[in-house]
Structure 1
Amino acid sequence: MSVLPLVLAGPLQSWGSASRFARRTTENAPTKSGVVGLLAAALGRERTADPTDLAALRFGVRIDQPGVRVRDYQTARHLVTDVSMPVSERFYLADAVFVAAVEGDDELVGALYDAVRSPVFLPYLGRRSCPPSRPLDLGQPVPGPLEDVLRGLPWQAAPWFRRSKRSTPDIALTALLDAQGGTDGDLLRDLPVSFDPRHRRYALRAVTADSVTVRDPDARRERIPDHDPLLALGGD
């Protein structure tokens, strides 16, 4: 089994799991359906293709830079009748950075690595209006398990954000993982069953939260005490 790590960074991201009608919300971290859709697009699959093999990959995401939630209003007109549509609310995460990873069969994960480096369809971070600001891949697939990979990858936050957290060299980050068999977790309806625009379907997925500690690459080394030559003389 191999793990493919990805970095998801951009000016805006939006990862909806319960968006309905005129209110389009976002989760605080990338959804499995959103990342699976990104990978399927990179492979060149049509929306009507069966996503079962990609949905079966074990998924995890680490929140390296949570970003700020912002709201936008959007207007539109009906393509045929030209009638104004209701004003809709769109929510985004601004300046967020995540490390996402999928674990599965070596051959499939290797194909996904090639695809994200040379995608057939351009990737986006939840919505078409949210392009990534960096290359997606963080290097070749590595041996699992998923948890160890998310613990071992360097902190991907922007330099300005790292500077704001420089009170300690060890940084605690939150990781959200597919729950293992028999493990309880929060339920999220983001497991893709069909991306077909005529009948999109998503199943429930159990998610567990974990805390992982990473090293700040810019942290100063521990300061060496000043040398006092008089200490060698002893005395009272």
Structure 2
Amino acid sequence: MSVLTLRLAGPLQSWGASARFTRRTTESAPTKSGVIGMLAAAAGVERGDDHRLASLAALRFGVRIDQPGTRVRDFHTAHHAVTGKSMPLSERFYLADAVFVAALEGDRLLLDELHAALRAPVYAPFLGRRSCPPSLPVELGLHDQGGLEDALREEPWQASAWYRRHHRGRHEVELTVLREADEHEQEAADTLRDQPLSFASEHRRHTLRTRVTSSVRIPNPFVRQLPRHDPFDALAEESA
């Protein structure tokens, strides 16, 4: 199996696993349905093409939280496109200044196609909602050695420069990982309704997906190297 890794960074992101009436929440990390939707759009998969969607949804998914960001709330107004009548005021939540590394494990040929699509997308990628464009290229690379867990452990830390400055005293950073459970971890997993079955406008459907929370320690290449200081050096110089 191969693994495709993605960098998900932008001023705002919104990854809702549920949307009820006028309240649109966001999860604390990208959902599988949101990332698969972004890949499907880049590859030109139409909303009603459930067969092509199924091949993407079968990929094993995981995400690493490199920079958790801050949850913000916005009030949204809109008008009906035909009548011009005001729509109900809605409450929408976003993650500001967040950075994630997402990984998808599966067949190399399919991941090659998706990697190429992200470099020349049919439809522009966005981070959960169309109002949330990425601030950096989404694709990071393809990994042929190891699996999903190895890729999330080996990919360098992607946090913003200002965020890294707050961690210059640490040689390693501990990052949270949310990944799909394997067959031996079902009892230790929680569930999230973000496994896409159909993106068709008339019948969008999702089902439950099992998810395990763990952590990885990543070397911090931005650690501040303090100069060596030994107070006895001065005495050694005087005796010489």
Normalising by structure 2, report the TM-score: 0.92
Match runs of 1:1-236 below 5 Å:
1-50=1-50, 51-183=53-185, 184=187, 185-221=189-225, 223-226=227-230, 228=233
Question: How far off its partner does 1:135 sit?
Answer: 0.4
The alignment partner of 1:205 has SS state of strand
Aligned residues: 234
Q: Which runs of 5+ in 1 are unaligned?
A: 232-236
Structure 1 range deviating more: 116-125 or 80-89 = 80-89
Using the TM superposition, give the Cα deviation of residue 223 of structure 1 relative to its aligned residue in structure 2, in angstroms: 4.8
Question: Which consecutive aligned stretches of 4+ in structure 1 deviate over 3 angstroms post-superposition?
Answer: 221-231
Distance 2:45 2:235 in 1: 74
Deviations 1:45-90 (A, max 9, x none): 1111121111110000000000000000011122233222110001
The 10-residue stretch of structure 1 (108-117 or 62-71) with the greater mean CA deviation from structure 2: 108-117
Deviations 1:2-55 (A, max 9, x none): 000000000000000011110000000000000000011111111111211111
Question: After alignment, is 7-16 or 217-226 more displaced?
Answer: 217-226
Further displaced range: 139-148 or 222-231 = 222-231
**RMSD of Structure 2 on Structure 1 (CA):** 1.9
Letter in 2 for 1:180: D
Note the residue ranges of structure 2 that are not aligned, 5 or more in a row: none
**Aligned AA (1:197):** S
**SS of residue matched to 1:164:** helix
Post-superposition Cα deviations, 1:96-137, rounded to whole Å, max 9, x if no partner, equal: 000001000111111111111111110000000000000011
Q: Percent identity?
A: 59
User: CA contact under 8 A between 2:169 and 2:224: conserved in structure 1?
Assistant: no
Q: Which sits farther off after the overlay, 44-53 or 221-230?
A: 221-230
116-125 or 78-87, which moves further after superposition?
78-87
Q: State TM-score, norm by structure 1.
A: 0.94
